[in-house]
Structure 1
């Protein structure tokens, strides 16, 4: 009977150890996947906001150029007298 109890105890300990090892492996794999996803998300955000900033600056320059052309046209047509 004693040897049977030892075998059962060893089997239980072995199963618990295997489950613990599997849990650690699953947790490590999950951490790696999450870190990769976070890194990809941050990279995508940097590119997206970088593109938005570039677009905003281009829009500002285009608007400024358009305003300057409008003022130049008004000056040429005599609607605005730059000497006043």
Structure 2
């Protein structure tokens, strides 16, 4: 990630919004060919990068349903912009 400054497209790396605004997420998939990603074979990694230290900071890891159940309107996980 540090050399290319982005992940390959198959990871679907993207910025989050609402309660997770300020963070990014990418998918780690081990989905069999011709199958739909599921709770057990599609893991999300929510992260931010501290560019001052060149450190990838993992915030949360889990399935989409586990990380984002129902509506995600809470400000509990909103990154503070300092």
Shorter-chain TM-score category? under 0.3
**1 or 2 for the larger relative contact order (CA 8 Å, sep ≥6)?**
2
More helix by percentage = 1
Which has the higher Rg, Structure 1 or Structure 2? 1
